[in-house]
Chains A and B, each alone.
Chain A
Amino acid sequence: MATKTLPSWDVITKHDVFADANHDEVARLNFLTHLNVHLSANVLPGVKNAYETQVKPEFIKAQGHEPENRHQLRAAITQNHTFQMWSALRRNTMEMRQQAGRAQVLRQIEDIVAKVEHYNEGADTLKLDESIAIPENVGSVDIHCQPGCYYTEYFENDVTVAASYDLGLFVTTAGLLGALSDGGGQAVGKWLADNHPDFQPKRILDIGCTIGHNAVPLAQAFPNAEVIAVDVARPSLRYAHARAKALGVNNITFVQADAENLSQYQDESFDLITTAMFWHETSDTAMPNILKEINRLLKTGGLTLHLEQPQYQGMGVYEQFIRDWDTYYNNEPYWGPMHDLDLKDMLSKCGFNSDDLFETGVVSLVDEKIFGKREKGDAGEDYGRAPVWNAFGLWKK
């Protein structure tokens, strides 16, 4: 069988505030994309094998039983050479991706900032608030090893961290998120159109929007709605606002706010409240605080919907452990604890009727800009590309 080729990073949509890439920068990002795929397709299966043939039998010999949970498994496997090698390579690949993206952005940061300012100047759809502090769940370590996290500014009006974040998602997902890294938001729009065509939200809140990857497709799906997108990270909001404008999207207001306290918005003032890949970066105190705010802000008859990775419950111990790698080795401290939560329990503690909780897969279309047009007749064949997201949510009755 011929090796499946990967799309070039260069097919990504370069909106007006996107960093330019020269020949060697493209080559570097392509190398890193291939390295990521190589590690998961070719090296990671070796870790599974090492677990099954070495780590597990030794564990059973010593303890008389298999590892009962991922923590026991982790304690045992960290001594294994195959695991160590894969982990060292993976961690290093993340760090290389960060350096590559930052170097690319920094060499042209003055131009990017000028373009961002051009879009942002005088706009009343960008509301920054100096008094908003960076919460503990965002500021304690640089999440997913992104130096400066989402919020660090190296000079006035800086957007370095945001511009680097924008260009790098492709590298870790090999294009699966689409040419604008917005597959998740597109999937939500499509799911709503397919399943609830009569639902026409007038006011939408997106929490933890970062650079608006998934707020933009929602705003496009509901062009008559007013979308409020909040985050604590100023450089990300600045970039998000300019990016949305550059994409011709004018119905989003980006607001610097801490979602634990959104008292500026009235009770029951939103029809739809969303998050995308957000909860795993909160905390045991932030998550219920924010859920309570959502419950307060959501209209009766409204929907709250959240894209996340699946919860660990019911998953095999090894799969849990591998999914949990990021918790310890990619600066995602709340990833594991969040995926252990009983969502029903959490929602009912925050005032929701948790019997209404539903979980569903949402699917976006394969992005033809990246993967090319599908041949007629290969409808059933998506080459493993069909991007599926896990979502949970509930309608407030």
Chain B
Amino acid sequence: MAEIDKLNLAGTKAKGQRPYFLADKQTEQVMSITMALAMELSVARERIATLECVLEQKGVLTRDELAAFKPDADEVAKRSQETQEYLARILRIIQQDKEELMSNEPTVEEVQEKLTQGNT
């Protein structure tokens, strides 16, 4: 059998120009990435559910025990830290936009102009 590039073949496009629907192409591409992530999250959640089933079947724990689990103070603090990091990570672009709107920073072009005294 000839060597085939499975990774790229799996994701290859269908022949025929793709219609775009949203205001611009990038927005739609971002949506596409987001939906793929939503799918992967759903897959991960199912895997967790499976883990719970198996652990329960094997008598390691019951789901009631999981639901009733109360983290101690250290664990609560750790999770709070992690949740904040998680939110900061996924909402980074909002943070950076806010920083920019609150500052008065030059563009690279303006800096270049200054550094070359308009000789470019």
Partners in one complex: yes
- The reply to whether A87 and B11 contact each other, CB–CB distance below 8 Å, is no
**B19 proximal to A (CB < 8 A):** yes
- The reply to whether A106 and B21 contact each other, CB–CB distance below 8 Å, is no
A-contacting 9-mer, from B42-50, B90-98, B109-117: B42-50
Considering only CB atoms and an 8 Å cut-off, how many residues of chain B contact the other chain?
30
- The reply to whether B14 and A154 contact each other, CB–CB distance below 8 Å, is no
- The reply to whether B16 and A141 contact each other, CB–CB distance below 8 Å, is yes
Alpha-carbon distance A89/B20, docked complex (angstroms) = 11
Q: Taking CB as reference atom, which chain B residue is nearest A104?
A: B10
- CB A55 to nearest CB in B, in angstroms, measures 15
**A146 proximal to B (CB < 8 A):** yes
Contact flag A84-B31 (CB < 8 Å), given A31-B43, A98-B14, A142-B14: no
- The reply to whether B46 and A149 contact each other, CB–CB distance below 8 Å, is no
Task: Write out, one digit per residue, whether chain B residues 1-35 have a CB within 8 A of any chain A CB (1) or not (0).
Answer: 11010100111111110111111000010011001
- The reply to whether A91 and B21 contact each other, CB–CB distance below 8 Å, is yes
- The reply to whether B28 and A31 contact each other, CB–CB distance below 8 Å, is no
- The reply to whether B21 and A331 contact each other, CB–CB distance below 8 Å, is no
**A4 proximal to B (CB < 8 A):** no
Contact flag A141-B15 (CB < 8 Å), given A88-B31, A99-B10: yes
**A310 proximal to B (CB < 8 A):** no
Number of A-B contacts (CB under 8 A): 98
**B77 proximal to A (CB < 8 A):** no
- CB B87 to nearest CB in A, in angstroms, measures 24
| Interface size bracket, A side | 35 or more
- CB A36 to nearest CB in B, in angstroms, measures 12
Q: Taking CB as reference atom, which chain A residue is nearest B16?
A: A141
Contact flag A23-B35 (CB < 8 Å), given A107-B6, A146-B14: no
**A85 proximal to B (CB < 8 A):** yes
- CB A295 to nearest CB in B, in angstroms, measures 33
Alpha-carbon distance A177/B110, docked complex (angstroms) = 63
- CB A143 to nearest CB in B, in angstroms, measures 8
Chain A residues whose CB sits within 8 angstroms of the CB of B19 once the complex forms: 87, 91, 328-329
Contact flag A113-B10 (CB < 8 Å), given A88-B21, A142-B15, A328-B19: no
- CB A110 to nearest CB in B, in angstroms, measures 6
- The reply to whether B21 and A95 contact each other, CB–CB distance below 8 Å, is no
Alpha-carbon distance A142/B42, docked complex (angstroms) = 29
Contact flag A155-B10 (CB < 8 Å), given A88-B22, A328-B19: no
- The reply to whether B47 and A96 contact each other, CB–CB distance below 8 Å, is no
- The reply to whether A92 and B31 contact each other, CB–CB distance below 8 Å, is yes
- The reply to whether B21 and A93 contact each other, CB–CB distance below 8 Å, is no
Alpha-carbon distance A35/B35, docked complex (angstroms) = 10
- The reply to whether A85 and B47 contact each other, CB–CB distance below 8 Å, is no
**B36 proximal to A (CB < 8 A):** yes
**A24 proximal to B (CB < 8 A):** yes
Contacts A23-B46, A31-B38 supplied; 7 other A-B pairs, CB < 8 Å: A27-B42, A89-B31, A91-B18, A110-B1, A113-B1, A160-B9, A331-B16
- Could you jot down 8 A-B contacts, CB within 8 Å? A23-B50, A24-B47, A91-B19, A102-B9, A106-B4, A110-B1, A140-B16, A141-B16
Report the 4 A-B pairs with minimum CB-CB distance, sorted nearest first. A141-B16, A142-B14, A103-B10, A27-B46
